[in-house]
Amino acid sequence: MGKIIIEYLEGKKIYACKNCNVHLSNQDYLTSKQFTGKSGTAFLFEKGVNYLTGIPEDKRLRTGLHTTQDIMCIKCQTYLGWKYLHAYEQSEKYKEGKIILEKLFLTKIKWN
């Protein structure tokens, strides 16, 4: 195992891993709250930090066929959501490179 380097996001309204509080993304990167993950409500983010990615897989989602890879926390390795690598439908191309984080696995830091 290599050394884990954890990034810390600047500013307020940060979303972090509920299990270990590692920063994952923030409100500036939040694109949509209208997604559904394995556990229920999920958020789409422009980008994030401190996550590991799994093996790319083709998955048929409600909105068509996509290539995705699971996302896990870099520190505690809890499953968090997935990353969109490729969308086969033209209308879904905007998701490419973006990440889904499931609400159940997130906590909010510095929202006051």
**Site for Zn ion, rule CB under 5 A:** 17, 19-20, 22, 73, 75-76
Structure tokens at 2: 């290599």
> Minimal distance in Å, beta carbon 20 to Zn ion?
3
d(CA 3, CA 6): 10
Q: Is the CB of residue 31 less than 8 Å from the CB of residue 45? A: yes
The pairing of strands 64-73 and 57-61 is antiparallel
To Zn ion, the closest distance from the beta carbon of 63 in angstroms equals 28
CB of 42 to Zn ion, least distance (A): 17
Nearer to Zn ion, 31 or 79 (CB): 79
